[in-house]
Amino acid sequence: MSRLLRPASRLVSSSAARPVNVRSAFQSFPRVPAIVQSRGYAKESGVKEYTVRDALNEALAEELELNPKVFVLGEEVAQYNGAYKVTKGLLDRFGDKRVIDSPITESGFAGLTVGAALAGLHPVCEFMTFNFAMQAIDQIINSAAKTHYMSGGIQPCNITFRGPNGFASGVAAQHSQDYSAWYGSIPGLKVVTPWSAEDAKGLLKAAIRDPNPVCVLENELLYGQTFPMSEAAQKDDFVLPFGKAKIERAGKDLTIVTLSRCVGQSLVAAENIKKKYGVECEVINLRSIKPLDVESIVKSVKKTHRLLCVESGFPAFGVGSEILALTMEYAFDYLDGPAQRITGAEVPTPYAQKLEEMSFPNEPLIEAYIAKMLRL
Amino acid sequence: MRGATVKSIVGELLGRREGIAYGKGGSMHMFTKGFYGGNGIVGAQVPVGAGLAFAHQYLGKKNASVVLYGDGASNQGQVFEAFNMAKLWNLPVMFGCENNKYGMGTAANRSSALTDYYKRGQYIPGLKVNGMDVLAVKAAVKYARDYTTNGHGPLVLEYVTYRYGGHSMSDPGTTYRTREEIQRMRSTQDPIAGLKHKLLEWNVTTEEELKQIDKDARSDVDKEVAEAEQMAPPEPTPKNLFEDIYVRGSEPQFMRGRTPDENYYY
Ligand SMILES: Cc1ncc(C[n+]2csc(CCOP(=O)(O)OP(=O)(O)O)c2C)c(N)n1
Ligand SMILES: [Mg+2]
């Protein structure tokens, strides 16, 4: 009986598919096997390797340096150098007026930093992880996101909420959850989801400078990952615009829309798919989910005629649902098959490792699903 | 203490199917009869614990709830919200602040405007207890249990203690305090050494007997740990993954997997 509810995806592989144009010898664009393949400047001089942690640290240091109204407040951000060492060295450099250890009181310090923003400062409010921001979500949404509108434009709130979000390993349900869809749904908030070191630096700096409340949803497992950082991105004027996605890998056979940690996973899957089948996936790193770059998605679908969204939140009412709905609204005519999504499983994150692995997207799953979608 | 075995707890830490929470909860989430879990959200357990007391009172049971939280957690707003309700409704709850001097890397005096945590209930009587003295803790808890279950309402107990180790695996525990401080605590305040000293002084037992108890405890725990290590992790099956999200028999028709192919139908 419940089989009646089998979703349309079964139809994907059987739907009248535009034959995939498998080309192996005459590809029209260059490919480097590394997952950061589309970074053409990776070999340029002046490029340095940065971890995402270093990039965030540099962004904070530069903004603290440039603007005395900026301060950093959160649990363990100062003396302990940050629970994940993102704020390392900032206390020593900027002193305890600018880099402040808070008691464990998320609702309280989120509210306090919102108040400071209303009064004209530019706080960076760090949550040790966004799991704990649930204690403070009322302040983020009701006090920060809505105030400008409710005041008829009189009262801005320039605040940045940041911290690790999403999958973290071996910490079970209360410490491993992706909140992208939660914040992404709120008018008045801007929400960014960096993947690479450049994303991290450019988006965090833009968040601090943006006159609105911005959530910067980082990922703990990315902090230690290393990426090339261009010379331009190493400068203190480097910012990335919100609402502009980045094509991390060009392709013509399938559009993969993804964010945060899933960008790296999708790039690996895309590379494997190319090796095995000579098929080219285009991987779009959303970078910002509010605003969301619908234009880039539609443009890519016009080219590839197929779309897969890869994200790690709960499936219901999520980022994937939104991408698929937008694709229906704006790109339906260009699709050759139903747009699809890979998401986190609909389950509180289990502790046991093998079960945890079944709860979040990974490279083999993405690869297998692409192969199925494209009937490879 | 609540009847769970060492094996089941270590098994949970190892993510085993026979762990106390079947490998689902891990180190922060353990449950057994009369034990309502660790909560991974600092402070959230306090009003929940007051709710247990509410139920005891509602059901006319002569039980009290023991609610434990740290010096760091004591600053969460909901702790004060729980205090107010507990006093207002005279709930049989023993709020217990384990003041081990640090919340992660933050010393108590850097997080708390008042470090006399037993005074923080304002209108709730408080008791400061030497948390490094087993017998003092036992006497205090017994007193508090009698007090709270006899209709006098809540109490706030501060157990003054110390954390030798770091906060977690990634914290060596030595960047925000001196090694001397830890050493001094160990040599002058250690609760096991202290109890041992008293038992000998009072001629309750002999050095040999204590050594034997110590040895037995070690071999008991070693045995249970070895058994826990032998336990199997949960089979990575959809059934194991999706079971118990809802009470059995009351589940929705299906839960979505990472892809629709992985949907699980109950
Ligand atoms: C709401 C929330 N904020 C932050 C954390 C991260 N965290 C876990 S334990 C801890 C320190 C708690 O200190 P304390 O209450 O003194 O307890 P102790 O570990 O010393 O027993 C912090 C900040 C969390 N789990 N939940
Ligand atoms: Mg503590």
Residue A31 and residue A49: Cα distance in Å, rounded?
A: 20
Give me the phi and psi of B31, to 5 degrees please.
-135, 140
A198 and A261 co-located in one domain? no
Residue B2 confidence (pLDDT): 75
- Cα(B105) to ligand 1 centroid in Å equals 10
List the helix and strand counts (H, then E) for chain A: 14, 14
pLDDT of A6 above 60: no
What integer best gives the mean pLDDT of chain A? 91
**Residue B174: C-alpha distances to residues A130, A249, B112, B179 (Å):** 27, 45, 21, 6
Least CA distance to A9: which residue of chain B?
A: B260
- Cα(B100) to ligand 2 centroid in Å equals 5
Q: Quick check: is A26 in a domain?
A: no
Closest partner residue to A7 (CB to CB) among B26, B241, B260 is: B260
- Direct distance between the N- and C-terminal alpha carbons of chain A, in angstroms, rounded to an integer: 31
A271-280 pLDDT, tens digit per residue, is 999 999 999 9
Residue A52, C-beta contacts closer than 8 angstroms, at least 6 positions apart: A194, A196, A197, A200, A218, A222, A223, A224, A225, A227
Q: Which of A234, A269, A301 finishes a domain?
A: A234
Q: Quick check: is A239 in a domain?
A: no
A214 and A322 co-located in one domain? no
| Strand positions, DSSP E, chain A | 48-51, 70-74, 99-101, 122-126, 160-164, 190-192, 214-218, 226-229, 246-249, 254-258, 281-285, 288-290, 307-310, 340-342
A229 and A252 co-located in one domain? no
Least CA distance to A111: which residue of chain B?
A: B77
Contacts of A352 in chain B (CB under 8 A): 15-17, 23-24, 233-234
Closest partner residue to B42 (CB to CB) among A8, A104, A352 is: A104
Residue A27 confidence (pLDDT): 37
pLDDT of A19 above 60: no
Q: Quick check: is A13 in a domain?
A: no
Q: Quick check: is A315 in a domain?
A: yes
Which of 114-133 (A) contact B at CB < 8 A? 131-132
Residue A319 and residue A299: Cα distance in Å, rounded?
A: 19
pLDDT of A12 above 70: no
Say what angle helices B191-201 and B134-147 make with each other, to 10 degrees.
100
Contacts of A14 in chain B (CB under 8 A): none
Mean pLDDT over B227-231 rounds to 97
A27-36 pLDDT, tens digit per residue, is 333 333 344 4
Active site residue A175: yes
Q: Which of A212, A234, A256 finishes a domain?
A: A234
A309 and A250 co-located in one domain? yes
Residue B3 confidence (pLDDT): 82
Mean pLDDT over A162-185 rounds to 97
A217 and A267 co-located in one domain? no
Which of 233-272 (A) contact B at CB < 8 A? none
A193-248 pLDDT, tens digit per residue, is 999 999 999 999 999 999 999 999 999 999 999 999 999 999 999 999 999 999 99
pLDDT of A178 above 80: yes
Q: Distance (Å) from the C-alpha of residue B33 to the closest C-alpha of chain A?
A: 21
Q: Which residue's alpha carbon is nearest to atom 11 within ligand 1?
A: B103
Three-state secondary structure call for residue A374: coil
pLDDT of A38 above 60: no
A22 touches chain B (CB under 8 A): no
B50-75 pLDDT, tens digit per residue, is 999 999 999 999 999 999 999 999 99
Residue B169 confidence (pLDDT): 86
Q: What is the CATH number of the domain that holds A266?
A: 3.40.50.920
Q: Quick check: is A23 in a domain?
A: no
Residue A4 confidence (pLDDT): 42
A120: left (phi over 0), alpha (psi -120 to 50) or beta: left
B198-215 pLDDT, tens digit per residue, is 999 999 999 999 999 999
Contact (CB, 8 A) for A73 and A109: yes
A58 and A202 co-located in one domain? yes
Mean pLDDT over A312-323 rounds to 98
pLDDT of B244 above 60: yes
Q: Quick check: is A183 in a domain?
A: yes
pLDDT of A3 above 90: no
8 Å CB contact of B106 and A361: no
Of the residues B259, B263, B264, B265, the best mutation for testing chain A's interface (the one with the most A CB atoms within 10 Å of its CB) is B259
Mean pLDDT over B155-172 rounds to 95
* Angle, vertex CA A292, rays to CA A291 and CA A298, nearest 5: 150
- With tokens 């629970």, the residue in question is A83
B153: left (phi over 0), alpha (psi -120 to 50) or beta: left
Residue A25 confidence (pLDDT): 35
Residue A45 confidence (pLDDT): 79
A120 and A269 co-located in one domain? no
Residue range(s) defining the domain that contains residue A133: 49-234
Residue A126 and residue A75: Cα distance in Å, rounded?
A: 7
Residue A44 confidence (pLDDT): 63
Contact (CB, 8 A) for A344 and A312: yes
Q: Determine which of A14-18, A127-131, A172-176, B146-150 has the lowest per-residue pLDDT on average.
A: A14-18
Residue B1 confidence (pLDDT): 55
Contact (CB, 8 A) for A173 and A354: no
Three-state secondary structure call for residue A285: strand
Residue A5 and residue A161: Cα distance in Å, rounded?
A: 40
B100-154 pLDDT, tens digit per residue, is 999 999 999 999 999 999 999 999 999 999 999 999 999 999 999 999 999 999 9
All domains of chain B, ordered by start, with CATH?
Answer: 1-32+205-238 (no CATH), 39-189 (3.40.50.970)
Q: How far is CA A253 from the centre of its chain?
A: 24
Residue A266 confidence (pLDDT): 98
Residue A217 and residue A200: Cα distance in Å, rounded?
A: 10
A148 and A194 co-located in one domain? yes
- How many domains does chain A contain in total? 2
8 Å CB contact of A351 and B23: yes
Of the residues A1, A86, A355, A358, the best mutation for testing chain B's interface (the one with the most B CB atoms within 10 Å of its CB) is A355
A186 and A265 co-located in one domain? no
**Residue A25: C-alpha distances to residues A22, A28, A29, A275, A276 (Å):** 10, 9, 11, 12, 14
A72 and A215 co-located in one domain? yes
Q: What is the CATH number of the domain that holds A165?
A: 3.40.50.970
Q: Quick check: is A145 in a domain?
A: yes
Q: Quick check: is A79 in a domain?
A: yes
Token duo for residue A257: 């829309």
Token duo for residue B6: 């060492």
A329 and A263 co-located in one domain? yes
DSSP B171-194: --S-SSS-HHHHHHHHHHH-HHHH
Which of 212-231 (B) contact A at CB < 8 A? none
Q: Distance (Å) from the C-alpha of residue A265 to the closest C-alpha of chain B?
A: 14
A226 and A260 co-located in one domain? no
Q: Which of A234, A267, A286 finishes a domain?
A: A234
Q: Distance (Å) from the C-alpha of residue A173 to the closest C-alpha of chain B?
A: 7
